[in-house]
Structure 1
């Protein structure tokens, strides 16, 4: 069996580590101290031949693994991870910290955007400062009609890493599991269970999974179809992607953005972010548009953090390589961001009794455009097609909206529509704004905070993405 790729401390996207096979003195035969001539015995010849065969087979395995990765794997679920704790900032009055596990099992639920016959998961210790020990892991398909993390027992598989049931991730490292033969379909919900002994505080997490993930009572419950639950958490920890192999490998659209991409204020546990709803729409088309969609949005995230930034995680420009180029089978990018670059400084100033001025707004516009241009350059250099999305209106959002900020939004949107070298544009602003009050969201798709859509609003966004951008017939 071929070993999976170890991404090492270089993180996702780096070249795979190739095994080095070292001959022992025993396999080289015995060297005469007097003459320096190697005295080869029949046993050593057999061992030598066996070793050559092993090296040859290993080389074939490694070559096959490289050929499948990443071109023959496709990410069908992913999330963007940040460091824990998330510190206090001008827009965040308190620290956000990932849950601690105490000899417990964490079951995390993910909805797949495409199917396949084999799967693998990717774990990450990207922001860890010490090795992460995962003592057991499993994957299974949630029972049809169940929303409580109960899995179909016949689908449960223990996960292995280089054939071992446990894995250690060094600080900064990411690691794929060994492939598992598990047929899955678009829309299937997987339960991925991780067991840790002792007390572990996650330093690599996604704070807003839009799902109630499960933390067990004490013990290893990775192979339990129905896990005893002590508490739920809205966070994802360490899990960064799920990949599939299929007869027809789907290309992947990576949706890069902020809370609007992440689906903030959508129904928890319903998979109603716009990327998830877009995946369902594409697979419901006739003929099917066989494109997987993964969501790497982060609540509060900015396009650029050149001036320090307020939101959690690195800005989109800085995390592009890890969160987009690091996805197996990535072919397309849909970029939506900039509202936090505009609104978060306004919130911080509002708390001080000040308002955003035009000079600051002009610097924000320059930073956002420069960051988008750099993202476009990186995407094109990697052979990806990238589409830009206009910033949604947000008048009425307490503290975030300002007249100078609105002018900044209009300037960025004008650049996206008319001058940015995107491969296509999705005009979310046009379809989401209120025709009678275009600086605001339509009332029927406003979640109530005047910046985030409701479920219907996210469906409207999904419907606004032309399938032709992805090479599919409308």
Structure 2
């Protein structure tokens, strides 16, 4: 097994007498991000989305809240699950106001061109654009499609609204044309900034409890959002990247909930610029009663965690493990056998010594008299997902100095 050692290249630039000074290269940090999923039909639980239908002769405006500010912005777009080339005719970034309304738009370019064709299986960064943004600013990223896109790489549980208009409304600040709204992001997987106060950040990796399912739509009350608010109040805040996927499993793929965590960890965490720490909260969907015939044992889930820890440390990241929270109130997730696995995994996270630090979210949200169940004041109503107060409680439990 490779050693868990961080290899940091030491590069020294010596300037001789009279030599021209080196031109500083901007350092980029991820200020917002989400995890990509393959196209999947809507269901009664999963809700509607446009991922299979895609877009044609439409303008899509997507709203994201940044964690840290800077003086320049660039955007990452993804066709990683596309089967055909994705043509984006034009793109723009603007400060978001209310709903689909924006301030003045800054056109985005790709290699100096206004549009881009992204091959299947690939991602594309925009060129940098000068745009001063502050901590916790809300940004609108608008994409223009002319030709049919085909099925879309997307993220289902955005927990905020995206807006769609017919025709070309790329730089239109008015919301009037954006007559359709949905609760997913399409093609957009990252926003990076340079020129900020801190070029470092933390990635939060996991499933629906990281994704924020159960929180108020449009309120930015997921636990990563509330952690970002705590960090933004510091003199040198850290960027926060939410790479949870609702329903996602650590060990096995899901037709509805995407590629397994082990397979997507490289792209969603390790390749994000500026990420120095990762909080891993994963495994509840692997052990849950609904996961038959893929229901995992405690040893299998622990082995999966160890693989993530090894991969993160090999890149020099600090790794924090979060305990799996109660699920007794969920008829689909809970069973005595599943609870025994949860207890086994949590005991290992707390006492196994594999993680650099432990965030004991289970201890924060469980009932004192019934430790297999959520506190009622933190339960969104389904016995497993938190409400806004619950997500705030676990965000407050993160030791900021450990990040």
Distance in 1 separating the partners of 2:266 and 2:94: 30
Q: 1:412 — aligned with what? A: 345
Distance in 2 separating the partners of 1:104 and 1:253: 35
Q: 2:279 — aligned with what? A: 334
Q: Which has the higher contact order (CA 8 A, sep 6+)?
A: 2
- For 1:378-437, what per-residue CA distance to the aligned partner results, in whole angstroms no more than 9, with x for missing partners? 000001101000000110201210001000000000111111411110000000101121
Shift of 1:169: 0.2
Structure with bigger helix share is 1
Q: 1:290 — aligned with what? A: 237
- 1:203 corresponds to 2:165: no
- The match for 1:78 among 24, 29, 33 is 33
- 1:389 corresponds to 2:334: no
- The match for 2:354 among 409, 421, 424 is 421
- The match for 1:379 among 312, 321, 327 is 312
- 1:100 corresponds to 2:100: no
CA contact (8 A) 1:250 1:290 kept: no
Pair 274,250 (structure 1): closer, same or farther in 2 beyond 3 Å: same
- 1:304 corresponds to 2:247: no
- For 1:235-273, what per-residue CA distance to the aligned partner results, in whole angstroms no more than 9, with x for missing partners? 111011000002533311000010000000111111111
Correspondences of 1:340-379 after superposition (within 5 Å): 340-343=285-288, 346-347=289-290, 363-379=296-312
Distance in 1 separating the partners of 2:186 and 2:216: 21
Distance in 1 separating the partners of 2:355 and 2:204: 14
- For 1:295-319, what per-residue CA distance to the aligned partner results, in whole angstroms no more than 9, with x for missing partners? 00000011111xx557611111111
Distance in 1 separating the partners of 2:100 and 2:358: 38
Distance in 1 separating the partners of 2:116 and 2:329: 49
Q: 1:39 — aligned with what? A: none
Q: 2:90 — aligned with what? A: 136
Shift of 1:189: 0.7
CA contact (8 A) 1:289 1:467 kept: no
Query: 3-state DSSP class of the match of 1:102?
Result: coil
CA contact (8 A) 1:73 1:249 kept: no
Query: 3-state DSSP class of the match of 2:140?
Result: strand
- 1:112 corresponds to 2:66: yes
Q: CA RMSD in A?
A: 2.3
Q: 1:325 — aligned with what? A: 270
Q: 1:226 — aligned with what? A: 174
How many residue pairs match? The answer is: 381
Q: 1:54 — aligned with what? A: none
Question: Given the two structures, how large is their TM-score scaled by the length of structure 2?
Answer: 0.90
Query: 3-state DSSP class of the match of 1:198?
Result: coil
- 1:437 corresponds to 2:370: yes
